[in-house]
Chains A and B, each alone.
Chain A
Amino acid sequence: MRARTPVSAAEGIVLDERLELRADRLLAGGQAVLREVDVAAGCGEVIGVAGPNGAGKSTLLRALAGLPCGQEVSREVPRPVGRCGVALIGHDPALHPQLTLAENLDLAVALAAGTRGSVPDALRRVGLQAAAGRPAGACSAGMLRRAGLARAWACRPGLLLLDEPTAGLDGASRTLPADLARETARAGGIVFVATHERQAFEAVAHRWLQVAGGRVREERP
């Protein structure tokens, strides 16, 4: 495991505090997808989540985000991380089709907890500054993916959950998710990345979880 980046005291984040998720079962659509889940992460960590399609990676991320995934789910988020908020960037970009990209991001930023970044800057980071006034419904799938990443950049979450973040991105944009993960971790946040494109995050992930056969296991080096 690589050494975690120290975090400034000014940000009030203590490295000893850990995010913990424990559940006997995690459900998706009423069906148990994962069993005996016990996942923990420290501040400043980037954790890759690998596994075949339908193994439960997205369900794990939803549970980490605090969305309903069963009855006896215990989730503890370090207070400083919780204060900075949670961002789940999933398959659905969570953008309303009749609002422009800038309006969608303005809304997400207004709802987010903690310190927030600037929406124009976030759109510039992902190369969408010229499309800021375009309705999300008139954007391509790749643009929506980038807008989702811009949302995370603008909201500066303490817990960032990326679900297949490289899917649909063009060659020039493929490094954006890893850059976002690196910056979030550097600021003391916790990042989980569920991906089939492991090589895109090998340089940034501190460790990997393997999701398969209804179980989540720590991958041994």
Chain B
Amino acid sequence: MSGGQVAALVRAELRLETRTGDVLRGVAPYAVAALVVLALSVDADTRLLRQIGLGAGGAVLLLFGAQSAARRGLLDTDAVRTLCAVSGVAPGTVLLARVVTTAAMLFALTAVVVPVTVVLFDLTPVGGWWLAATTVLALVGLATLTALAATLVAATSVRAVVAPLLVVPLSVPLLLAVIQIPATVTYGSTPLSWLLLAALVDLVLVTSAVTLAPWLEGVR
């Protein structure tokens, strides 16, 4: 596996995303709109808004982040896949590039969703570094899962429907780990178990990705 090849594929994929805006221009506005609708539907009850805020933000991020699995990017084109195969790029390198690209897009989507959620739901940061670390692990896990799902259903014509359906149920433990951190800290416990849950899910997903890469990223 070559770091230079991963970097080149990620750079090209992100360059393409800045031109097409599939995720950030196509998905982010709808994620923000969903948050606005959710906040408006709870009346002016600030206490309730605070209670559901993190969960609502997490769910919106998960649902709209999973849409990136439906995106057809550089690595989904036959020309680039053939170029990779002929150039001797290892399947693991291609899958890693896909994971890194998806993670970058999810972090960008998070950067949009978090401030909107904080403002709309009147959230105050609770959990500090625990929350930040668990969120990062959850995003890495979600990116791996999204990349795996995107590759699994790449050849199907119903990709836009099937990929998010695969991602959402399997990412529930990651969402749960993030939204339980503030409550655990508020009640005076250490949220280590939630952090470890996110890390364990990541480990399972990364192991699956490494194992399945030769079958998933070969030339079809």
- Known contacts A86-B86, A88-B82; is A96 also within 8 Å of B77 by CB? yes
B36 close to chain A: CB less than 8 A: no
Q: Are A67 and B82 in contact (CB under 8 A)?
A: yes
A48 close to chain B: CB less than 8 A: no
Chain A residues whose CB sits within 8 angstroms of the CB of B133 once the complex forms: none
Chain B residues whose CB sits within 8 angstroms of the CB of A94 once the complex forms: 79-80, 82-83
A143 smallest CB distance to B (angstroms): 16
B78 close to chain A: CB less than 8 A: yes
For the complex, count residues of A whose C-beta is within 8 A of B.
Answer: 25
Per DSSP, chain B at the interface is helix
Q: Are B82 and A99 in contact (CB under 8 A)?
A: no
Residues of A42-74 contacting chain B, CB below 8 A = 65-68
Closest to B82 in A: A94
The 0/1 profile, CB within 8 Å of B marked 1, for residues 74-116 of chain A is 0000000010011110001111101100010011101111000
Measured CA separation A86–B7 after assembly (Å): 20
Measured CA separation A14–B216 after assembly (Å): 36
- Known contacts A85-B87, A99-B15, A113-B87; is A107 also within 8 Å of B8 by CB? yes
Measured CA separation A38–B49 after assembly (Å): 72
Q: Are B79 and A92 in contact (CB under 8 A)?
A: yes
Chain A residues whose CB sits within 8 angstroms of the CB of B87 once the complex forms: 85-86, 108, 111-113, 155
The 0/1 profile, CB within 8 Å of B marked 1, for residues 105-142 of chain A is 01110111100000000000000000000000000000
Measured CA separation A86–B87 after assembly (Å): 6
Q: Are A113 and B88 in contact (CB under 8 A)?
A: yes
